[in-house]
Amino acid sequence: MKKFIRLGSLFFLVLGVTQPSALALTFRVTQITSEEAVFNEPSDTLTPTTLNYVLSFTVEPSGGGSSTQISTEDFFALAPDTVETPFPIQYKEVGDKLFAEDQEYLTAGTNGLSLSTGINKTTRQDPEAFFFPVVFLDPTAINDGTVDFFAADIANNQSPDLWELLDAGGNVVASLVTEGAVTNPSNPDWTRLGTQNLERFRNSDNQILNFDNRQLSGLAVELSDFVGLTALNASSVASMRITIADPNNTVDNRPRTDYAFISSNINSIAFENQVKSQEIPEPTSLLSLAVTLGLGLLSRKKDLT
C-alpha cells in the first residue's frame, strides 16, 4: 500500500480577518479513480481522450486513520452563471473550442465531474466570485464524518480561495480558506495526485495551445470545516460564494485555482444551479425533501463520451 503525507493547518478568513487555525480540513484526498485512470501519485500521467469523469475518490482523516473510498453518484457539480477565463481547458485533438460558454467547462461529463475540462485562471486576473444559491442544507451533516464538497484542479497550483456561506441578506454565516502548495507549502489543503497532458483554447484569438504536464489535485471539504457553522445557524444559509483568489490576495504573482469542477454531496447540501446527470441515482429521503423544497438540478450538459 502506498504511503501518504499527512497535511496540517489551515488559514481561515472570518469577517474579513485572516486568522490561523490549529485544525486542518477534516479530510485529505488520497486517490481519484476516473473512467480512464487511477491517480494517487504526482507521477501518475494520463493523456485523456474523453471527458473522463470521476467514478470515485478516496479520503483519509487529516490527522491519520483509515482510508474511505467514496462513490461520486451523489456528487453533482455546481454551475456558476458566468466565468471569466482567458483559457478554457480541454482534452487534446478536439479541433475547436469544446463548449460555447466557458462555464460549461466546469459542468462537463456525468454529474459534471470531468477531469479533462476546466478553466485556466491567470495571475493577472482580479479575484472572481462564484455565487451559488443554496436550497437545502442538512444540519445533521455538520461534523458527521462525511465529505460534503469534492473539487479538482487540473492546472498545477491553487490560490488561497475564500469559501463563504451567506444568509439571505448577504452576511457571512461561516467561511474557510483553501490553499495549495505554493501559498502554503508546509500544510496545503489540496493533494497532488497525478499529471495530465491537455490543451487550452485561447479565447482572444481562437487558438488551441499545448498544455502538457499539468498537475491534477483533489480537495475534500466537510461542512464542519466552515468556521462558524453550527446546527443552530445552518437554516440561515441561503447561498455560497467562492472567491478565486480571496479578496486579500490582490493581482500579483500568486497562482489562481484552475477548477475542473466544484461539486457537493446533494444529501448534505444542494444548490439551485447544479448539474443533472443522465443517470440519476435513487434519491434518499433527504434528497426527496430537497426536491420538495424546490431543488432545481439543471441539465447543463450531456455526457459527450
Per-block mean pLDDT, blocks of 10 residues, the chain (305 long)? 32 34 78 98 96 97 94 97 94 94 96 97 86 97 97 92 97 94 86 97 96 97 98 97 80 79 97 72 41 40 32
For residue 252, what pLDDT is reported? 60
- Yes or no: say if 185 and 11 are a contact pair by the CB < 8 Å rule: no
- Yes or no: say if 242 and 264 are a contact pair by the CB < 8 Å rule: no
- Yes or no: say if 40 and 31 are a contact pair by the CB < 8 Å rule: yes
For residue 249, what pLDDT is reported? 64
| pTM, entire model | 0.84
The single-letter DSSP state of residue 126 is P
For residue 14, what pLDDT is reported? 33
Dihedral sign for Cα atoms in the order 94, 98, 102, 103: negative
For residue 156, what pLDDT is reported? 87
Amino acid at 189: D
Query: Which residue(s) pair with 192 in the sheet?
Result: 217
What letters, b where the CB count within 10 A reaches 16 and e where it falls short, cover 216-249?
Answer: bbbbbbbbbbbbebeeeebebbbbbbbbbbbeeb
